[in-house]
Amino acid sequence: MRIVIAGAGSIGCFCGGLLAAGGHDVTLWGRTRVLDQVRAHGLTVTDYSGLERHVAADSLTLAEDPACLAAAEVVIVTVKTSATARIAADIAAGAPSRAPILSWQNGVENARILRAALPGRDLRAGMVPFNVVPAGEGVWHRASSGGIVIAAGPGDLGRRLSVPGLPVTESSRIEAVQWGKLLVNLNNALNALSGLTLVEQLADRDWRRLMADQMAEALGVLRAAGIAVASTTPLPAWTSPLILRLPTPLFRRIAAQMLTVDPTARTSMAYDLLAGALTEIDSLQGEILRLARAHDRPAPLAARVADLIRQAEMSGPGLPDLSPQDIRG
C-alpha cells in the first residue's frame, strides 16, 4: 500500500522504516531537520531484541509539503496531540476521501479531534505500546515491547499493514485498549521526574509504590466515569497496582514482561524534558484530572505530578531528579 506517515518523528520514522522494509510504499511527511538525517544516512531501525533494518533514502519518499497526501492509500498520524488539529486540516484538504486515517498517538482524544475534522472518513484510533528513541544519524531505536492495535473495520487493515517486526491487530474495544495504555503511560511523567532509567525505576519498590498509587487513583476515577479499561498485558488492569507493590524479587518473577526494556531506556516524556520540549502531560494526567473534576473525584497525585512536569518544562532542558517522597509532597 501507499502509506503516508503524517508527522514523521520517532514513532513515525520507526514504524515507517519497518513498513517500507516490509514492502509498502512509504512517504515520510515531516520536518526538514528529521528528514535531512534520512536523506544523508538512510533510515535504520533497531530494537532491544537485536532487530535491525536499513532502508535506503531513495526507497522512501521524503516530503515537507502536505501535497504528498494526494497519493495516499493509508494515512498514519503520529504527531503529538498539540499538532493534531493542524494536521487534520491538511488531511481534510489533501488526502483522498477513501484513504483510511489511523491515529498512532498517545492519549485518547486524538481520534476525537481527527474525527471531528474528517467527518465521513474511515478514521481509526490506535494504540502503540512501545517507545522509540532517536539514536542519531538516521537511526531510531525501539526500547520496549508490544504490538500495535487499531480499531476494527473494513479492509482487513491490520493484516495488510503487518510486517516483520511490526504486527498490527484489530480490536472492537479500541477505546478500552487506549485507556489501558493511558494508565500505563501515567508513568511517563514519574519516570521523567525521577531522572532514572525505566529499569532502575522498576527495580525500586518506593517508585513502584508511587506508580501503583497513581494507577489506583486513576482507576478509581475511570470507574466513577463508567469507562471500561482493557489491559495491555495478559493480566487485568486492576491487578497492576497489586503487582507493582510486591517485594522486588517477587515482582521481578511475576512482571518479567514489564521489564522487557533496554537498560538505558527512559520514557518519551523524559526525552522531551531533556530536549527542553513541551510534553504531553495534558493528554495523560490531564485526562484523569478532567474526568475527576467532571465526576467530583479527588485525584491529588495526578494534580501534583502534572504541576511538577509543568515546572520542569519551564526550567529548561534537563531532568528534575526527584524522589518518590518529593513527588508525594
Q: In whole angstroms, how far apart are CA 171 and each of 12, 23, 149, 180?
A: 21, 24, 7, 13
Q: What is the pLDDT of residue 66?
A: 96
Which of the residue ranges 134-138, 288-292, 302-306 would you say has the lowest mean pLDDT? Answer: 134-138
Model confidence over 159-181: pLDDT tens digits?
Answer: 999 999 999 999 999 999 999 99
Q: Is the pLDDT of residue 229 over 80?
A: yes
Q: DSSP labels for 168-234? A: EEEETTHHHHHHHHHHHHTHHHHHHHHTS-HHHHHT-HHHHHHHHHHHHHHHHHHHHTT-----SSS
Question: Angle at which helices 205-224 and 174-185 pack, to 10 degrees?
Answer: 140
Q: In whole angstroms, how far apart are CA 137 and each of 51, 78, 222, 245, 313?
A: 17, 21, 42, 40, 27
State the residue for C-alpha cell 522494509. 21
Common-topology check for domains 2-172 and 178-328: no
Per the structure block, which three cell numbers stand in for 262? 533496554
State the residue for C-alpha cell 520514522. 13
Model confidence over 113-130: pLDDT tens digits?
Answer: 999 999 999 999 999 999
Q: Domain limits of the chain? A: 2-172, 178-328
Sequence-distant (≥ 6) Cβ neighbours of residue 37 within 8 angstroms: 137, 138
One-letter amino acid identity for 102? L
Q: Is the pLDDT of residue 30 over 80?
A: yes
Q: What is the pLDDT of residue 223?
A: 97
Q: What value does the mean pLDDT take over residues 262-266?
A: 88
- What are the E-state strand segments in the chain? 2-6, 25-29, 43-47, 52-55, 61-63, 74-77, 101-103, 123-127, 132-136, 139-142, 148-151, 168-171
Query: Are 128 and 103 in contact, with CB atoms under 8 Å apart?
Result: no
Average pLDDT taken over every residue of the chain? 95
pLDDT band at 259 (very low <50, low <70, confident <90, very high): low
Q: What is the pLDDT of residue 33?
A: 93
Architecture of domain 2-172: 3-Layer(aba) Sandwich (3.40)
Per the structure block, which three cell numbers stand in for 180? 489501558
Q: What value does the mean pLDDT take over residues 226-240?
A: 87
Q: What value does the mean pLDDT take over residues 218-234?
A: 92
Which of the residue ranges 139-143, 197-201, 256-260 would you say has the lowest mean pLDDT? Answer: 256-260
* Pick among 1.25.40.10, 1.10.1040.10, 2.40.30.10, 1.10.3720.10: CATH of 178-328: 1.10.1040.10
Q: In whole angstroms, how far apart are CA 144 and each of 11, 49, 82, 99, 243?
A: 12, 9, 25, 30, 19
Q: What is the pLDDT of residue 256?
A: 75
Q: What is the pLDDT of residue 45?
A: 98
Per the structure block, which three cell numbers stand in for 165? 517486526
CA 27 to chain centre: 20
pLDDT band at 32 (very low <50, low <70, confident <90, very high): very high
Q: What value does the mean pLDDT take over residues 85-111?
A: 96
Q: What is the pLDDT of residue 73?
A: 98
Per the rule left: phi > 0, alpha: psi between -120 and 50, beta: everything else, 148 is: beta
One-letter amino acid identity for 2? R
Q: Is the pLDDT of residue 218 over 90?
A: yes
Q: What is the pLDDT of residue 255?
A: 81
Q: In whole angstroms, how far apart are CA 292 and each of 106, 130, 218, 223, 306?
A: 20, 27, 9, 10, 14
pLDDT band at 262 (very low <50, low <70, confident <90, very high): confident
Q: What is the pLDDT of residue 258?
A: 62
Tell me what percent of the residues of the chain surpass a pLDDT of 70: 99
State the residue for C-alpha cell 519518499. 61
Query: Are 224 and 295 in contact, with CB atoms under 8 Å apart?
Result: yes
